[in-house]
Amino acid sequence: MKVRFENVSFTYDTRTALKNVSCEFDSGRTILVVGHNGSGKSTFLKLMNGILKPTVGRITLGETITDGKRTSELARLCALSFQNPDDQLFAQTVKKELRFGIDNIGRGDGLFDSIVDTLHLAEHLKSNPYSLMYALRRLVTIGGSAAMGTPILALDEPTAGLSLREKKYLGTLLAFLKARGTTVVMVTHDLNFLLPYADDMLLLSHGEAQFSGERDRLFAGKDARDLMRRAGIGYPAYARISSALDLELPAFSAEEIVECLKKKRAGTTRRTNGRHQLEGA
């Protein structure tokens, strides 16, 4: 489902957290929202999901203009997994937490098993989510939101507190959601892990959108490095390596870089699409 912000501003009491943000993302895309601490990323997700209402401007999800709609109605379009898992957990067992969407919203049939599988949660279904270690609590909240089966899924810092192993599970979930056509919007500082999955980017700085659009268009721009540095997120390590190796365009993972090097040596410089390799892996 499509996401569209038109001149959206949001003010908490007196503090303006988003200023005149306009952006548009097509259905089925994977979008990364990046920016410095306090730049307005979480606020953006909460507006999309409807917990917060724009002070000014208009948000459209698919064909639905969110203005005047109830939060519960909007939650059927966009589920949100919170930055702090403990703000989200509410059920007595992992199973209940994961089934909430299916039982109450009536969406996402058949999703439960796939999500339990993908996130390796089967052995924890009977546990109290609060008794689990941090990484698992995060996986449970991500799984719970994904199991709502909404056409748009918003994840706030999905890799924070995850180690390599759970990040791989998350990667599999992202590939699965991509195949289902879900629009996934993620706030993250973990560009090294998530950039290979991204189609589009939204770059926020002090509440303003510095860039929105295709990931590859951001990185092809001459000012990409400057733009990202000024936004407090630095230039991602794989992109830096790509330019040190004189690759024509930045690559975003070790696999992509090695692939580009091979092509370059074979005399061609066309780059490969990292996602397909990842999905195949």
Ligand X SMILES: Nc1ncnc2c1ncn2[C@@H]1O[C@H](COP(=O)(O)OP(=O)(O)OP(=O)(O)O)[C@@H](O)[C@H]1O
Which 16-35 residues touch ligand X, going by CB under 6 A?
17, 35
Q: Does 81 bind Mg ion (CB under 5 A)?
A: no
43 binds ligand X (CB under 6 A): yes
Interacting residue with Mg ion among 39, 42, 159, 188 (CB under 5 A): 42
Please tell me whether residue 194 binds ligand X under the rule CB under 6 A. no
- How far separated are the first and last CA of the chain, in Å rounded? 27
Q: How far is the CB of 78 from another protein (least distance, A)?
A: 20
162 binds ligand X per the rule CB under 6 A: no
Take residue 117 and report the two structure tokens written for it.
Answer: 């599988």
Give the SS3 label for residue 167.
helix
Write out the two tokens for 60.
């459209």
* Residue 38 is a binding residue for ligand X (CB under 6 A): yes
What DSSP string describes 177-219? HHHHT-EEEEE-S-HHHHGGG-SEEEEEETTEEEEEEEHHHHH
Instruction: Give the Cα separation of 47 and 38 in Å (integer).
Output: 15
Nearer to Mg ion, 36 or 69 (CB): 36
Minimum Å distance from CB 242 to another protein?
A: 10
Q: Which does 6 bind (CB under 5 to 8 A by kind): Mg ion, ligand X, another protein, none?
A: none
Identify residue 183 by its one-letter amino acid code.
Answer: T
Dihedral sign for Cα atoms in the order 171, 248, 254, 237: negative
Tell me which stretch binds Mg ion (CB under 5 A): 16-24, 39-47, 218-226, 239-247. 39-47
- Regarding 75 and contact with ligand X (CB under 6 A), the answer is no
The listed partner (ligand X, another protein, Mg ion, none) that binds 134, CB under 5 to 8 Å by sort, is another protein
- Distance (Å, rounded) from C-alpha 142 to C-alpha 85? 9
As given in the structure block, the two tokens for residue 171 are: 């990667």
Residues at the site binding ligand X, with contacts judged by CB under 6 A: 12-13, 15, 17, 35, 37-43, 83
Residues at the site binding Mg ion, with contacts judged by CB under 5 A: 41-42, 83
